[in-house]
Amino acid sequence: MPQLKATYPLYLNNKPVQPNTDLAVTDKYTGEVAFRTALATPDVIEEAIAGAVRAAEPMARLASYEKQGVLMHCVARFKERFDELAYALCVEAGKPIKDAEGEVTRLIDTFRIAAEESVRNYGEVQPLDISARAKGYMGMWKRVPIGPCSFISPFNFPLNLAAHKIAPAIAVGCPFVMKPASKTPLGAIIMGEVLAECDVLPEGAFSILPASRDGADMFTQDERLKLLSFTGSPGVGWDLKAKAGKKKVVLELGGNAAVIIDKDADLADALERVIFGAFYQSGQSCIGVQRILIHDQVYDAFKAMLVAKAKTLVAGDPKDRDTFIGPMISDGEAKRLKGWIDEAVEAGATLLCGGGLSRGNMLEATLLESVPDDAKAKNEEAFGPLAILQRFTHFDAALDEVNNSKFGLQAGIFTRDLFQMFDAWDRLEVGGVVINDVPSYRVDNMPYGGVKDSGLGREGVRFAMEDMSEIRNLVVRRT
């Protein structure tokens, strides 16, 4: 396997800087320190923001082919460093190696999509002569970069969720400062290392700055930054929005996603997808399957299939290619979710399988049924290997139950009924409806994001590019 370095720098105004080695990052399976990185102090963050401001004009003037060249350079280098990137994910995030390889593939896809979109930043010619007073007038509009951007990315997809901020910013021509999650900073640092190879980027085009939560205030509140894009927990996200001032804010937050298994579903197919959606990377996904709504006619059969399959999932060292369930990100997070499971059982829920905690952060794949309506396991975001089973009789009632949540990110439905598919698309209060697959499914060029407490705005390269742009009109009077 590839070897990680003992220390890594931060990236300040396109350059590696090693002011300290204050951030110790652990191997999430062994608990041992795997490497150390520099931690950005307030003076470093200030210098990075000032650099992004200076870089705004030269970034905006980059030709489309130059931005595309940067992005295609990243695609090529990420392919060359594929094994290193996957191994880094496996260590710092505790992500099973097969899942880690899948995320590197998505990183490459996201930069490739951005490279394609970088030369498609279209505007429009618009007729203005809609009445007599506008006779002889015509209009045009184009998109221009919004300016310096601030990005804060989470621990669970350290590569791809950072890529969904970085790649569109380069495609549009926006300089940025990024704070990666302190538990998993290495993926973003490697991206900085690759970007630093691109001489066409003006100084200040990017800074990758691991920082403490206190230091993150500067990423949020500084008025020189024109957009804040945050992916993380709802509590933190809405608090940051309240502090963000006049800047545009994009939030990709949490969920407790539901999947409906209707009576006409292909149960064998649904089984494989639901098991994946509930337990891949130990359930640490904001669109992970948490609520499984099963039609009464197939409930008992599908429950038996789910429990039997969940019990076969291999848990252990994420570096082992047979491992499906790896560690959660920390002992504290595993203990929290274990507490929610125990509370639900004490309140009357039935434990169908799992529930055990070992090694501090290895929580078993867990299925519950008859969970009380007020239980945290049902209402809050589990963000771990837990799913709950619920029975329904009428499809309309199942749709109502999906909507019975403060979250609204994505929902999945296994059905062959075309009319029910369109009813779900019309009625479900979510950002995306996925038919015959789990809500955990995402392709990196699609619009992605939620409603209600799940966030504001949309990711997906083209849609993020729109958020990072503003429209500039041109009105011409033709006399």
Give burial (CB, 10 Å; 0-12/13-18/19+) of 374.
exposed
What is the structure's pLDDT at 398?
98
Give the lowest-confidence range in 7-21, 205-219, 284-298, 301-315.
Answer: 205-219
The helix/strand/coil state of 297 is coil
Maximum separation of any 2 CA atoms in the chain, in Å: 80
**Active-site annotation holder among 149, 174, 198, 286:** 286
Residue 197 a catalytic site member:
no
Residue 252 a catalytic site member:
yes
Cα dihedral 67, 49, 455, 28 sign: positive
**What is the token pair recorded at 232?**
């993380």
pLDDT, one tens digit per residue, over 395-454 is: 999 999 999 999 999 999 999 999 999 999 999 999 999 999 999 999 999 999 999 999
Dihedral (C-alpha) 237, 239, 245, 249: value to the nearest 10 degrees? Answer: 10
Q: What is the pTM of this model?
A: 0.96
What is the number of other CB atoms lying within 10 angstroms of the CB of residue 141? Answer: 14
Q: Are 344 and 371 in contact (CB under 8 A)?
A: yes
State the average pLDDT over residues 9-26. Answer: 98
Q: Are 461 and 117 in contact (CB under 8 A)?
A: yes
What is the number of other CB atoms lying within 10 angstroms of the CB of residue 22? Answer: 13
What is the structure's pLDDT at 213?
75
Question: Which phi and psi (to 5°) does residue 41 adopt?
Answer: -90, 165
Residues 6+ apart with CB under 8 A from 382: 256, 283, 288, 290, 337, 340
pLDDT, one tens digit per residue, over 304-352 is: 999 999 999 999 999 999 999 999 999 999 999 999 999 999 999 999 9
What's the rounded Cα separation, in Å, for the pair 449 and 451? Answer: 7
Residue 464 CA: distances (Å) to CA of 143, 201, 221 = 13, 20, 21
**What is the token pair recorded at 351?**
């434990």
Residue 215, pLDDT > 90, answer no
What is the number of other CB atoms lying within 10 angstroms of the CB of residue 474? Answer: 12
What's the rounded Cα separation, in Å, for the pair 284 and 378? Answer: 16
Q: Position 268: which residue type?
A: A
pLDDT band at 14 (very low <50, low <70, confident <90, very high): very high
What is the structure's pLDDT at 394?
98
The bridge status of strand 33-37 relative to strand 23-26 is: antiparallel
**Active-site annotation holder among 117, 252, 369, 380:** 252
What's the rounded Cα separation, in Å, for the pair 134 and 436? Answer: 51
Residue 174, pLDDT > 90, answer yes
